[in-house]
Amino acid sequence: MNPFAVLLAVATTVAALATPPVGDAVSAGYLLLNPTTGPSKLKALAENAANIPVNRIYLSFVAPTMVYVPGSNTLQYSDIGYSSSGDYGFAEVKKYVAQLQAGGVEVFLSMGGWNYNCYPYLYMKYSIAYFGKGPNYWKITQYGGGSAAGCNESNMWCYVCEPLSENTTLKDFNVFPEPDNATTWKAVQSTIAAGAKGEAIKWHPEIVGGAKFTDPVDKQTVTTVPGSNYFVTVNRDPYTDFVYLAKDLGLDGVDLDYEEMWHADTFRTGSGTGPFKLDQTVYKYTAIALDMVNAIKAIYPSCKLSTAAGAAGAWSNNWWGGNLKGLWYYSNLWYPEVTKFMSAGANAGGINVMTYDLSNNNAFIECPDTTSDCELGGQVKFYMNTFATAGIPARVGYEIGQPAYPDPSNDPTHQIPLTQSALTEILSGVPNTGSVGGFFWELYKPKNSAPTGPSGQPNNIDATSVAQQMCAKVLPNAARCKGVIPPVDGSNPATTASQAPTTSAVPTTSSAVPTTSAIKPSTTAEPVTTGSGNLSGTACAVFGGTVCSNNVLYQCVYTSGNNLTWSKWSSC
């Protein structure tokens, strides 16, 4: 019996609330939430929804082991990093979601993110140490004495998931479970098995948070699985609960950010240094996506579904391990109906390709095509072409500022951050940037950060400039494309007016100096006036107001404690 039969009988269509509804033309940004600055950032974006240069926001992240009971109206067991008391931010988030939608911005919630995809021991052992070399092996050399045996939980399995500086512990990580306690998941397993075109499926429901798991290769090493098993205790399916939560928050869609490289390498087949097959991970990823598809159909029929895909995910030739090359190619080849649900029709949230954190270090064969351009623009065009060739409609992804890879503390030389010239090359060279648009990570990420900093990467482009140009390409003449990302606690990424193109999309004047129309205040904004002295940190009255003092333009922003104070913006 279909476990959703009863739900299907009573399900009612709940329309997505973005006004007007957003179609394929998307200019999107991810918002990383945390209890300290997350609420003020979401508030600022909501209050300026009609004038920000994005028409979709991805709230991130919720853990893949979440629990949400429909109607409970609390984020206690589906923590999105917003609050740690009361209803854990449920009512406030729902209010801001409605404000954003009223301003024409869709709101999605993303499940996953890197930390919620990483099993430190298995990633270290089979994605890095196994090959004895590679761009991340230096971590094992430095912290483990050059051997996987020197990596343990006390040194967080040699800091392969997060650097030592982050002070992470096992509780900071999670993995996507296979919730075979739920009839909904069992139904999905049957569908995946019926369509399997690779090796025989081997499910691993025993890999659940808190369990002791024996290394399936050496048969000896026992580690604790990161994450929670609460969903098992209360007999819930996290992927179904994800959709229930989206419905109760009134979201436009949900986003699956699956990046379990450790799973692909631990359960791959092949020998020596490859090539290998990642069939087991194709089955697992597709099962998770299908579980969400089924839940949407039964519970929240207007909900959209998107997925974040690895840059090499549609590349179909030999896989040599260490990434998710070919995962989305084979998922689409074997289970095209799942890809189609996400990429075409009323529920299509899109396939968002993470074409960033790329490297031009060909000592590790990191240029995808040695005969082509190995810089960012060339690599992005190459990877996006593989999705087009595979028949998978997809959006380009950008990263603001310092890339996470290669590790900037070890190899900043081979990083290829997003610059104005690279952005121009991508916008002009990837056809679908003008039809389906793109997305970027992250709305409030600074364009420069340690250890490289502005001296090492002086040409990095800021979030507002990227959003404006991406928006203008896919939504020509839309007024919002001249808006800015509203500042919060002085953290607004200053625009890069000197680098803005003169022909493409956005006039440099709108990038450099915000006007009262660029940011929508909660009441009538104060006009630009003249003051005297240094106003930073002094009280102001109306959010979004500006004042020029001693040739410095200040803007009225929210700081800690939701206090309104003047913050330096630019020159005037």
Asked whether residue 304 is domain-assigned, the answer is yes
- CB distance 210 to 224 below 8 Å: yes
One domain for residues 479 and 493: yes
Q: Are strands 212-214 and 222-224 parallel, antiparallel or unpaired?
A: antiparallel
Asked whether residue 196 is domain-assigned, the answer is no
- CB distance 357 to 324 below 8 Å: no
**Biggest CA-to-CA distance, the chain:** 74
Place of tokens 């109206």: 73
Distance CA 10, CA 12 (A): 6
pLDDT at 3: 43
- CB distance 120 to 152 below 8 Å: no
Percent of the chain with pLDDT strictly greater than 70:
83
pLDDT at 534: 80
Distance CA 377, CA 398 (A): 11
pTM of the model: 0.84
Range 509-517 average pLDDT = 28
Is the pLDDT at 5 greater than 70? The verdict is: no
Is the pLDDT at 543 greater than 50? The verdict is: no
Cβ within 8 Å of residue 71, ≥6 positions away: 248
- CB distance 110 to 292 below 8 Å: no
Mean pLDDT of the chain: 87
Is the pLDDT at 567 greater than 90? The verdict is: no
One domain for residues 539 and 453: no
One domain for residues 377 and 420: yes
Is the pLDDT at 253 greater than 60? The verdict is: yes
Provide φ and ψ at 548, rounded to 5°.
-105, 125
pLDDT band at 61 (very low <50, low <70, confident <90, very high): very high
- With H, G, I as helix, E, B as strand and everything else as coil, classify residue 93: helix
Range 247-267 average pLDDT = 99
In the chain, the N- to C-terminal Cα span, in Å, equals 68
pLDDT at 539: 80
What digits encode the pLDDT tens for the residues 283-314?
999 999 999 999 999 999 999 999 999 999 99
pLDDT at 415: 96
- CB distance 31 to 46 below 8 Å: no
One domain for residues 312 and 448: yes
Is the pLDDT at 493 greater than 70? The verdict is: no
pLDDT band at 407 (very low <50, low <70, confident <90, very high): very high
Asked whether residue 224 is domain-assigned, the answer is no
Domain final position from 518, 535, 559 = 518
One domain for residues 168 and 245: no
Range 1-18 average pLDDT = 40
Q: Are strands 26-32 and 56-62 parallel, antiparallel or unpaired?
A: parallel
pLDDT band at 541 (very low <50, low <70, confident <90, very high): low
pLDDT band at 516 (very low <50, low <70, confident <90, very high): very low
Please report, for the domain that includes residue 294, its CATH number: 3.20.20.80
pLDDT at 20: 56
- CB distance 487 to 557 below 8 Å: yes
Number of domain units in the chain: 3
Bridge partners of 56, per DSSP, are 28, 106
Asked whether residue 81 is domain-assigned, the answer is yes
Tokens of 218: 């050496």
Domain final position from 172, 195, 214 = 172
H-assigned helices in 180-220: 183-195
Distance CA 312, CA 386 (A): 8
Q: Which of the pair, 532 or 405, is modelled with greater confidence?
A: 405
pLDDT at 572: 54
Distance CA 88, CA 269 (A): 43
Domain final position from 492, 518, 544 = 518
Tokens of 294: 């089924």
- CB distance 49 to 43 below 8 Å: no
Q: Which uninterrupted H or E stretch holds 482?
A: none
pLDDT at 2: 43
One domain for residues 409 and 548: no
Q: Which of the pair, 383 or 8, is modelled with greater confidence?
A: 383
One domain for residues 90 and 18: yes
Closest among 13, 571, 1, 60 to 297, alpha carbons compared: 13
Range 40-68 average pLDDT = 98
One domain for residues 411 and 476: yes
Range 482-492 average pLDDT = 81
One domain for residues 24 and 147: no
pLDDT at 324: 98
Is the pLDDT at 332 greater than 70? The verdict is: yes
Asked whether residue 525 is domain-assigned, the answer is yes
One domain for residues 313 and 351: yes
H-assigned helices in 300-375: 327-334, 336-343
Range 135-148 average pLDDT = 96
Q: Which structural domain, as residue segments, surrounds residue 162?
A: 120-172
The whole-angstrom distance between residue 538's C-alpha and the CA centroid of its chain comes to 35
Asked whether residue 221 is domain-assigned, the answer is no
Distance CA 34, CA 19 (A): 27
- CB distance 307 to 331 below 8 Å: no
One domain for residues 271 and 361: yes
pLDDT band at 401 (very low <50, low <70, confident <90, very high): very high
One domain for residues 141 and 63: no
HSE-CB of 464 using CA atoms within 13 angstroms = 28
Asked whether residue 164 is domain-assigned, the answer is yes
What digits encode the pLDDT tens for the residues 410-450?
999 999 999 999 999 999 999 989 999 999 999 999 999 88
Tokens of 500: 């803005």
Range 90-101 average pLDDT = 99
Asked whether residue 252 is domain-assigned, the answer is yes
